[in-house]
């Protein structure tokens, strides 16, 4: 054997050893991961804070994700005093329970949440208006921060952002003295004046998730608990009759989704406040389940 090829073989050997070493480490990490997940050793309790590196990593990933997704969102004018007032009304009703306000503590249930809902007094300094809008509209997975997309019109979300921009400069006394503005009605009427939006099936899946349908029904094509509290909706699109008495037409399905108690007063399907548009989208999705 020549010296050159002996050297070559030795180099190959070293590479092979490194590769096997790296693979062994990966396998060990994999086995460790499987052990942590299956043994139950990982503590999911909300009254135990994350380890410092985990906490830091989650915060970092959250910030990066929001920055990335909020890039390119166009910010409407937010200085109008009426918009700020509307934002205040929504903030008091929808946000203070978890986040508190200047001089106001959150409700006691929020004390038990991990991650703890941040005090938002300074949020408008830490996040851009587009980022705040994105967080409020989309929510934050695995934190308890709800997505407000199906509950607040886009204008109202921007109004909340407008109010939040005033928060850093508001003293507790000033916050207390702000007028008690009633929450304006959901802006659905304005939306329907422009004609109904076209049916949107991807949005329908989000709506089904939002209205907690999967906490009671099996609904094919969606990830969730599929709990058997209500009947399975498998093949519902092909059924002749719904709720035991109504012909399965799009209009009847939308009525059932919006006013289940009108159709079956003693039924166990709760009235979930499904909007007209959301009922139309959800009914269209259910009709595809043949």
211 binds ligand HEC (CB under 6 A): yes
| Cβ 104 vs Cβ 175: under 8 Å | yes
Stretch touching ligand HEC by CB under 6 A, among 22-30, 68-76, 190-198, 261-269? 261-269
For the CB of residue 247, give the shortest distance to ligand HEC in the complex, in Å.
11
The span from the CA of 249 to the CA of 269, in Å, is 19
* Two tokens, residue 62: 């959250």
| Cβ 70 vs Cβ 133: under 8 Å | yes
The span from the CA of 101 to the CA of 77, in Å, is 24
Residue 236 burial by Cβ neighbours in a 10 Å radius (0-12, 13-18, 19+): buried
204 binds ligand HEC (CB under 6 A): no
Q: Give 23 or 150: the residue with its C-beta nearer to ligand HEC.
A: 150
Stretch touching ligand HEC by CB under 6 A, among 24-32, 34-42, 70-78, 223-231? 223-231
The span from the CA of 255 to the CA of 278, in Å, is 12
For the CB of residue 159, give the shortest distance to ligand HEC in the complex, in Å.
10
Residues 6+ apart with CB under 8 A from 165: 78, 124, 129
Site string for ligand HEC, 227-256 (x = CB under 6 A): --xxx-x--x-----xx------------x
130 binds ligand HEC (CB under 6 A): no
* Two tokens, residue 264: 């079956």
Stretch touching ligand HEC by CB under 6 A, among 46-54, 75-83, 168-176, 205-213? 205-213
Residue the block writes with tokens 């919006």:
258
Q: Which residues would be at the binding site for ligand HEC (CB under 6 A)?
A: 94-95, 97-99, 113, 115, 117-118, 120, 123, 126, 132, 135-136, 140, 143-146, 148, 160, 208, 211-213, 215-217, 229-231, 233, 236, 242-243, 256-257, 264, 267-270, 272, 274, 282
């Amino acid at each position: 054997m020549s010296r050159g090829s002996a050297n070559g073989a030795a180099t190959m050997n070293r590479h092979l050893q490194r590769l096997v070493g790296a693979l062994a480490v990966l396998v060990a990490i994999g086995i460790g991961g499987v052990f942590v997940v299956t043994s139950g050793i990982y503590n999911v309790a909300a009254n135990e804070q994350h380890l410092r590196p985990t906490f830091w990593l989650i915060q970092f990933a959250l910030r990066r994700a929001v920055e990335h997704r909020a890039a390119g969102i166009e910010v409407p004018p937010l200085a109008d005093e009426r918009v700020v007032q509307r934002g205040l009304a929504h903030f008091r009703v929808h946000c203070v329970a978890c986040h508190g306000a200047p001089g106001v503590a959150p409700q006691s249930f929020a004390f038990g949440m991990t991650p703890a809902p941040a005090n938002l007094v300074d949020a408008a300094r830490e996040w851009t208006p587009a980022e705040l809008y994105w967080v409020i509209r989309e929510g934050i997975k695995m934190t308890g921060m709800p997505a407000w997309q199906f509950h607040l019109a886009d204008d109202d979300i921007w109004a909340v952002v407008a109010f939040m921009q005033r928060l850093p400069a508001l003293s507790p006394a000033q916050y207390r003295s702000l007028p008690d503005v009633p929450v304006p009605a959901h802006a659905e009427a304005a939306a329907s004046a422009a004609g109904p939006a076209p049916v949107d099936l991807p949005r329908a899946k989000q709506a089904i998730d939002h209205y907690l349908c999967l906490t009671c029904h099996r609904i094919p094509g969606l990830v969730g608990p599929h709990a058997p509290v209500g009947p399975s909706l498998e093949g519902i699109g092909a059924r002749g009759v719904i709720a035991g008495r109504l012909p399965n037409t799009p209009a009847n399905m939308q009525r059932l989704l919006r006013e289940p108690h009108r159709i079956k007063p003693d039924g166990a399907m709760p009235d979930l406040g499904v909007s007209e548009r959301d009922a139309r989208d959800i009914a269209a999705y259910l009709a595809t389940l043949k």
